Structure 1
Amino acid sequence: MMMRILGSIDRVIGFLCKYLSIAMLVALFILLGLSIILRLVPLFTISGYDEVVEFLFIWIIVLTTVALWREGGLYRVSLFENLLPQAGQLVLSVIINLAMLGFALMLAWYGWQFAANAGETTPFLRMNKVYWHAALPVGGILMSIYSVVWLWRVVAERRTLAQDNNLIG
């Protein structure tokens, strides 16, 4: 029962990361395209344009990183891993996953501090920049959770990322 609930939460996170980042990318292309057109034919101006673009960029980067992190789809050099025997591949996978977990925890911790201390307000929209900076701790927390899951799979199930490139399985 608990695994079904966790699997459902995982699928929701995967769905949100994928489709929110796609929607934000489309919005970004529309804004950038409209900006180019409005330079040629200045019918009106887009107020707060830079603020919205900045918001979209940071959240696109974080959401797509979480999506790739979740799927184990980040870039890696498998040449060295393939040269090792099975036991060496497992040890290397543990080291890699611990390093990824360390990075994710640092991102969550320092991202939280950065967001919490962000007293800046955007000039046009008059919004607190915490909504921009919140991407860092949110992404770090999600990446940390997925890193622990990947680490558990490597240690408990003796599977490297190359053998199982899907978290849900």
Structure 2
Amino acid sequence: MKTDWHKLDRLISAVLRGFCTLSFMALTIVMGGVVLIRFWPVATLSWSDEIIELLVAWIVFIGAAELWRTNSHFRIEAVYDIVAAWRFGWLYRLVLEAAAMVFIILFTLYSLNLTISAIDVSPILSWPRPLWYAVMPVSGAIMAGYSLANILKVIGDSRSPRA
């Protein structure tokens, strides 16, 4: 069972990293095109702002989900490392993970509501605006899943003889 979870984790990692890489490459191409068009005005790229906004939003939130998956997100670890080493440090870690999970669940629910309630379209491409917002509940759900895994890990670690 554990290897199945590891396979799923590796698949999620590959999808998140691959998506961010491809999106960043597309963003580079579009922005490079915008710069070149300024020097050689052979076409208009009036649509590029919308594509850039969309790509940046998806890169930021999917990238955040990958950082959350690997625990590479920004956090202050000095207190965390000191307290976590104490006998009941697992309880401190559990409270932090639970608080983070509550925030992520609220973020996911509110962003899902925003995505569902958005009815406008982009001005130039006329794409539905929920495309810009959909990344938030998607990444939030991924982060909530990994928060749950972190909570279960803390609980499992608390039962070990060393805790």
Using the size of structure 1 for normalisation, the TM-score is: 0.86
Pairs within 5 Å for 1:51-62: 51-62=50-61
Q: Counterparts of 2:141 and 2:81 in 1: how far apart (Å)? A: 31
Equivalence for 2:136: 136
Further displaced range: 105-114 or 8-17: 8-17
Looking at structure 1, the residues matched to 80 and 54 of structure 2 have their Cα atoms a distance apart, in angstroms, of 38
**How far has the Cα of 1:34 moved from its partner?**
1.5
Q: How many angstroms apart in 1 are the aligned matches of 2:49 and 2:143?
A: 28
Calculate the TM-score normalised by the size of structure 2.
Answer: 0.89
- Post-superposition Cα deviations, 1:98-120, rounded to whole Å, max 9, x if no partner, equal 12101210111001000000101
Q: Distance in 1 between matches of 2:2 and 2:100?
A: 24
CA distance in 1, matches of 2:72, 2:158: 19
- The amino acid across from 2:36 in the alignment is I
Tell me by how many angstroms 1:9 deviates.
2.3
RMSD between superposed Cα atoms in Å: 1.7
Paired residue type of 2:78: L
Corresponding position of 2:81? 82
8 Å contact from structure 1 (residues 106, 140) kept in 2 = no
Aligned length: 158
What's the counterpart of residue 104 of structure 1?
A: 104
Distance 1:57 1:142 in 2: 18
Gaps of 5+ in 1: 160-169
Q: What is the CA distance between 1:124 and its match in structure 2?
A: 2.1
* Matched position secondary structure for 2:87: helix
Give me the whole-angstrom Cα distance separating, in 2, the residues matched to 1:27 and 1:60: 11
1:79-127 superposed Cα distances (whole Å, 9 cap, x missing partner): 1123334334322211221121012101110010000001011122221
Report how far residue 67 of structure 1 moved: 0.4
In 2, Cα distance between equivalents of 1:70 and 1:158 = 21
Output the amino acid matched with 2:137: P
Deviation, 1:4, is: 3.6
Q: Does 1:24 align with 2:19?
A: no
Matched AA of 1:67:
E
Cα deviation 1:112-153 (Å, max 9, x = unaligned) = 000000101112222111111111111111111110000100
Q: Which runs of 5+ in 2 are unaligned?
A: none
Amino acid of the structure 1 residue aligned with 2:38: R
Once structures 1 and 2 are overlaid, which stretch shifts more, 88-97 or 134-143? 88-97
Give the AA of the match of 2:27: L
